[in-house]
Amino acid sequence: MKIDIITLQPALLESPFNHSMIQRAKDKGFVTINIINLRDYAINAHGQVDDYQYGGGAGMVMMCEPLANAIEDLKKERNYDEIIYTSPDGELLNQSISNTLSLYENIILLCGHYKGIDERIRQLYVTKEISIGNYVLTGGELAAAVITDSIVRLIPGVLGNEESALTDSFQDDLLAPPVYTRPAEFKGLKVPDVLLSGNFKLIEEWRMNQAEEKTKERRPEM
Ligand code: ADE
């Protein structure tokens, strides 16, 4: 899979993809993450990529030309399954969206800034808008990092043990059950006996039961 991220703040995306599972996924060739600095497509030597909004009002708008040129350059190289704009107006990210995106070959993540992008870029190029929650971030970069993280771990083959993605919270519309490791007792709190029983059928039942209880209690709408 190839993920191209268009951003005005490339430095914000330097670290998130250089650790842990995403680094391993890159090393093994499951994903290529390419950061495109929108400033390279500025309309003049001042590095201009934004301008005042027509009709007045506070806040700058990201201009059509730099965005269109950046996207057109990428489209010359490959076909995209989705061109995604990260925006608080978008569809709320959930596990089902991440599952779908993880099966694609090529996507663009376009990070908004300031007041956002000129509406015509949405009309001409953007095929999907995703929000990572009902709050406003300074820019779309952290949202792009969240979206990328949530999909890269689902790319078939990335996780050593396929099971562990299948038993994630949300994967079957249930929150994950509690987990424990050594020691068997900590500050007077014991690991539930069933987990030490070696009876895998009982353990599975207990986990399913805990997952259902937790989901009912915390996220009844699921
Ligand atoms: N940009 C600003 N806020 C955002 C959000 N909540 N989700 C995605 N992109 C954003």
For residue 76, the CA-to-ligand 1 centroid distance in Å is 28
At the topology level of CATH, where does 169-218 sit? Trp Operon Repressor; Chain A (1.10.1270)
Pick the residue whose CA is nearest to atom 5 on ligand 1: 88
In the prediction, which pLDDT does 148 show? 98
Q: How does pLDDT run across 90-113, given as a tens digit for each residue?
A: 999 999 999 999 999 999 999 998
- Asked if 36 contacts 141 with a C-beta cutoff of 8 angstroms, the reply is no
Fold for domain 2-152?
A: Alpha/beta knot (3.40.1280)
Q: How many angstroms is it from 163 CA to the middle of ligand 1?
A: 31
Q: State the distance from the centre of ligand 1 to the C-alpha of 195, rounded, in angstroms.
A: 41
Residue 78 gets which letter from DSSP? -
In this structure, the residues whose C-beta lies within 6 A of any atom of ligand 1 are: 86-88, 112, 131-133, 135-137, 140, 143
Nearest-CA residue for atom 4 of ligand 1:
88
Residues of the chain with CATH 3.40.1280.10: 2-152
Q: How far is the CA of 138 from the centre of ligand 1 (A)?
A: 8
Average model confidence (pLDDT) for the chain? 95
Q: Write the pLDDT tens digit of every residue in 132-166.
A: 999 999 999 999 999 999 999 999 889 876 557 77
* Residue bearing the CA closest to ligand 1, atom 7: 131
Task: Give the list of residues 6+ apart from residue 180 with CB closer than 8 angstroms, or none.
Answer: 191, 192, 195
Q: Where in the chain is the domain with CATH 1.10.1270.20?
A: 169-218
Give bridge partners of residue 62 from the DSSP assignment.
Answer: 50, 117
CB 85 within 8 A of CB 93: no
